[in-house]
Structure formats: structure tokens, C-alpha cells
Structure 1
């Protein structure tokens, strides 16, 4: 390995990286570092770092990221580091850097997780054909956030990580203000949903760690049956808020109420347990009440629709982007179904 600083085809300065790893006491500084760019559902930069039998992963914000986006990456590192010693499945983190001379952005290094993601081609064997085994994937999905909701975030050093006070009071106006920056079309059902959410926000809740984008796309499973959650990933939207929003997010397109959602379902739900069974499991593990779950499903659909609309608006302004073309239908479906649920829910 040459001693010159050189940025390779991976986009990393692997010489600087090797020296940095050595300084952190991590494998890879002895001349045997092999770096491979990874592909996945994330919009961030991911690289496998292999040194002998050791496999690590480097995670960095995309090269074009704003300072705010890069800061979220370091917040993510802080959050995952705080999970050490808990029973929440996650990839252990080792070290982070604010320097930009290695990856072009701040980054951190974590353990490589042995497992599979539903975004790597759908359900892996045997879950692709064994629908009885597949049911466990949903139970494990919900189990992960139930365990997360129980973490003592203050004891974990996350005081000041978020603003739990007034969390629900801020949601509607915050996200409508976000939408105002790029709104370019009417979203049928948006105002109905916003008005309902303002009128039905919880009067009290118990704050906890909120992943903020919790779904099958952001977890990894261990290989083989029975289903076992290997790690929750992509924590950059995490904060201290109402953990029940993660449950609403996971159930955004769940049946039977969500059975007609064709855009927001990117996986085959055949064989999945009922919503009531998942709610019961969450309540048992977390100790939290789930009687107001419709509020959280509606808020999750409202928020996700607005977030994805930003990509739709950007594509419309720049002549289209094939990667986000499908978001157009998802946004309209999410907002429509949020409004429909406000009319059919029994919440008073």
C-alpha cells in the first residue's frame, strides 16, 4: 500500500482512512485494509472496511450534503452510541470524525451486521415462501421499537438530544411550514388531516427515543428462521419525542384499513399478523397504551407524505428523476388515506 494520500475509485482517501483507523485502535491500519462501496436503500455513503477477518462499516453523509445533513449524521452516531448495553438490536459504533478529508463529509464507523434487509430484493428465504415464518418478521419489527421505547434516555446521556416538551403541539405547523417551502400542487385531504390532528393531539405522553422513520426498509434480520431482528438502522431522523409515532409509522399501510394502499406497500404482506396482534405485542413489551393508535397512523401518513413531496417537487422542477417518480403516487395515497382514517376512526 502506497504512503501517498490518494482518493481511490471508492471516493475515499483510503490512506488517510487507514491512518485514522490505526489512531482509533481499529483494524485496518496495518496495510491490509480493503474498502468496498455498499449499495442499499440509504441515501448516505456506506462502505465495508475489511481488515483480515474483521468487517466494519463506514457511514457518511452524501458528498453534496448540507452542513445540517452532516450534523444529523453525527447526531445519529451519538444516539446509537447511547444504545450500548441496551437490548435494542443495533450495530455497535466505534468512533466518529468531523474531518472531511477522508470521505468528504463527517462519518462514523460501526460493526458490520450479519443479516439481510427487505430492501435487497424483498423477503429472503425462507420468508419468501413460508408465510407462517413471515409473520415473525412483523412481530420482530414491532418488538424492536417496543424495546427502544423502554430505554432510559436520560440515563443514556441523551438529555438535550431533542425537545420532548410540546412535541405534539408542534407537529402540524412544523410540517406544513416545511411543505410551504416547496409546495407546487394541491394535496387532497391535507387540510382535513391537519385540522383533525390539531384537534386530537394527545394531552400527555411519556417521552422516549423516537427513531423517526421506522419501517421494514430500516431494519435488518438475521439469516434463517425463526425471524430475529438483527439491527435497527438509519437513525438520522431520531430524536426524543413520542415513541408511539414509530408504531404508527410501522403500521402506515397495515390491513385491513390499509389493504387498498398499492403505492405505500413495497412488500408482500401475505401471512402477516393482524394489527390487533401487533398492538398487543407492543403494549406487552413496552408497557405503553395503544388505544389511540389511529392518531399516530394518521400523523405518520401526514408527515411521510410531506417529506416525500419534497423529492417530488424537486423532480418536477428539474425535469424529473426516475428514482423518485414513484413517490408521486405514494404522496397522494398517504394524504388521502390519512384523511379517510380521520373520518372513520372512533377516536373522540
Structure 2
């Protein structure tokens, strides 16, 4: 991974007066990233923060996307939503090649960094695990309560017609890339068109909410440190975040055969009903229509993953999406056919 131009970054930091230590060298360490974003830790003296930006080869629209992310984390300042601190933003691509922003360094851990094994004490002490789930649910419950208009996010999304656009937009996208039949697609699509919510309370939503996109503080009891990766953030229907979070939650977390949610060990976790109830209690939102959001989440995720599968080539990771897509769509169709929800 190409490193940052530390001299240019140090000059910008000095001019913007963002970090103390003017004139001191800047140290950088690559943390993570891929085709959409790259993340570096930067240090100057005793100060640490994180740079997030598109890589050189990312599509041009990622520049707008990174500035959109900045707007969200800046708007979260002063709220009780766990988030990274908003340190500074640079819209000038001449500094590092692409626009970027600086966020606070989080002294914690991500479930994505533990390779499917919870860090201690969550690995060996199952009674510490439930709070990991309750904290996860609480994060989006608190997010849904943010006064997005007061925070200057009136133009971040278009909540009017949100559900109508979900189906039309994603079906249109799928038709452009589609090269195979996906059983259950028509059933789930028709059901979503016929059963969309008659009304909902708009709110700020993450768009890809799951264990992979949060960080926890070290040690027990579990405490959510920050919600991260805001590239899908918008103003819409926050209950889609809930549906997304629990769409693959096992019915029986005590059964090892049913307790693997792809990348985390779900043994010892509360049931889906329990985490949904916690979300409802914290958010104040009713969840009687959760089935609609589960169908929508499974259907939408299947279409998102189909994009990766269609461009997989010989990439084994992307090829593995193929059966996941068909399983998700079949599950969406099965749930749609079995539910009595009427919108």
C-alpha cells in the first residue's frame, strides 16, 4: 500500500492548526482499506488520530462520499451516539491526492480484527457476551434518535419515498448486472412493493450496520466505543438498520450449528427477539413490522453481494458470494410468503 506524503500532511496540519506540535515530524501506519477507502493512523508527538480517504484508484464519486462521511461524524459531535471524534477535513485533493478527513483514534477493538475469535474475556466467559449484542443494538437505537434536522443534515437523504426508491433503485441496478436467475427474486420483490410501510419516522441511519462496522472498548462489561464506516449513511428509515443487523441472527444461539453469523461466534448471545426488544426500548420505535425490514434487508444484501459475484473472475472470496446470494434471496422469499404483515 502506497504511504502518505507525510511532508505535505505535516504542512497542512501546521496551516490548519489541527494538531499541536507544529514542525514536528508526522509518523504514519497503515491500518486497513481496499478499493473504496484507506485508513492510516497518524501520530505527532503524543497525539494520535486517523486519516480516512479514498485510495488513488477509487472512483471519483468517492471524493464526495468521503466528505459526506465527514458531515455525519461531525454532526454526531455532542450526541450520545458512540462515534469517532471529528478532528478535521481537507477538501483539497492537492494535499494528499484525494480529499480526506481526520477522526479521533479509538483505543479499542473491532470484531473484524479478531478472526472469528472474541478477545478475552468474551472468548472464554460466555456470560460476558450478551452485552456485546445489546450494545450493538443500542448504537443504532441512539442513532435513530438524533435530531438530524437540527444537526444540519436536511439534505443528506430524501426520506420521502424512501421505500419506493429502495425497490426501484436496487432492481434497476440488478438488471444492469444480472447474468443469472436468482430464485425467489420475483416473489420477494413483488411482496416488498405490496407491503411497504404506510408511514415511518425518518431518521439518521448507517446503511451497513453489523458487528463488522463497530468498535468496542477493551475489557468487560462490553461497551461500544464507536460506530465506524459511514459510506452508506443517509437519512431514511432507521429500522432498516435493525433489519440489516438481525437478518441473519440465529434463532437458537445456544446451538453451535446455528450460532455462526458468518464471521463471529454467536454462542452465548441473546436471541433475536431480545436484541430487537432492547432496540425498541432505547429507540422508542415500534417493531411490530420487523418482518418487512427483514425481507428488505435479505433482498437488498443479496443484490449487493451479487455485484461482487458477477465481477469475481477467479477471486475465491467473491466467488463465495454466489451461494450466499441464492440463500439470502430464498430466505427473503420464504419469509415474505409466510408472514401476515400487511403494512
- For the pair 1:249 / 2:256, whether they are aligned, the reply is no
Q: Corresponding residue for 1:339?
A: 333
Query: What's the counterpart of residue 78 of structure 1?
Result: 71
1:325 CA displacement: 2.8
What is the match of residue 26 of structure 1? 18
Q: Which sits farther off after the overlay, 292-301 or 83-92?
A: 292-301
* Cα deviation, residue 170, structure 1: 1.2
Q: 1:173-227 CA distances to partner (integer Å, 9 max, x unpaired)?
A: 1101111221111111111110111111000000000100000000000000001
Task: Look up the SS of the partner of 1:212 in the other structure.
Answer: coil
User: What does residue 170 of structure 2 align with?
Assistant: 175
- The aligned counterpart of 1:54 is 47
Matches within 5 A, 1:228-239: 228-239=223-234
Alpha-carbon distance, 1:330 to partner: 2.0
- Kindly state the Cα deviation for residue 10 of structure 1 after the two structures are TM-superposed: 4.0
Counterpart CA distance in 1 for 2:261 and 2:173 is: 21
SS at 1:79 equivalent: helix
Q: In 2, Cα distance between the equivalents of 1:219 and 1:273? A: 18
Residue 184 of structure 1: which of 179, 182, 186 is its match?
Answer: 179
Alpha-carbon distance change, 90 to 262 in structure 1, aligned in 2, over 3 angstroms:
same
Are the counterparts in 2 of residues 75 and 236 from structure 1 also a CA contact under 8 Å?
Answer: yes
Mapped pair 1:215 → 2:210: yes
SS in 1 for 2:311: helix
Query: TM-score normalised to the size of structure 1?
Result: 0.92
Moved more, 207-216 or 12-21: 12-21
How far apart, in 1, do the equivalents of 2:251 and 2:27 lie? Answer: 48
1:276 paired to 2:268: no
Q: Deviations over 1:113-171 (max 9, x none)?
A: 11000011232111112221111101000000000000000001101111000111111
Aligned: 1:306 with 2:309 = no
Q: TM-score, normalised by structure 2?
A: 0.93
What are structure 2's unaligned runs of at least 5 residues? Answer: none
CA distance in 2, matches of 1:45, 1:30: 25
Structure-2 change in CA distance of 1:238 and 1:261 (3 Å): farther
- Give matches, 1:1-348, under 5 Å: 10-27=2-19, 29-39=22-32, 43-121=36-114, 122=116, 123-256=118-251, 265-315=262-312, 319-348=313-342
Q: Is the contact between residue 82 and residue 226 of structure 2 (CA under 8 Å) also seen in structure 1?
A: yes
Listed as ranges, the gaps of 5+ residues in structure 1 are 1-8
Runs of 4+ in 1 over 4 A off after TM superposition: 40-43, 257-264
Q: Tell me how far apart the structure 2 counterparts of residues 18 and 329 of structure 1 sit (CA, whole Å).
A: 47
Deviation per CA, 1:76-131: give whole Å up to 9, x if none: 10111000100000001121112223433211001001100001123211111222
CA separation of 1:103 and 1:340: change in aligned 2, threshold 3 A: farther
The residue number in structure 2 matching 1:3 is: none
Q: CA deviation at 1:338?
A: 1.0
Kindly state the Cα deviation for residue 345 of structure 1 after the two structures are TM-superposed. Answer: 2.3
| Distance in 2 between residues matched to 1:30 and 1:322, nearest whole Å | 46
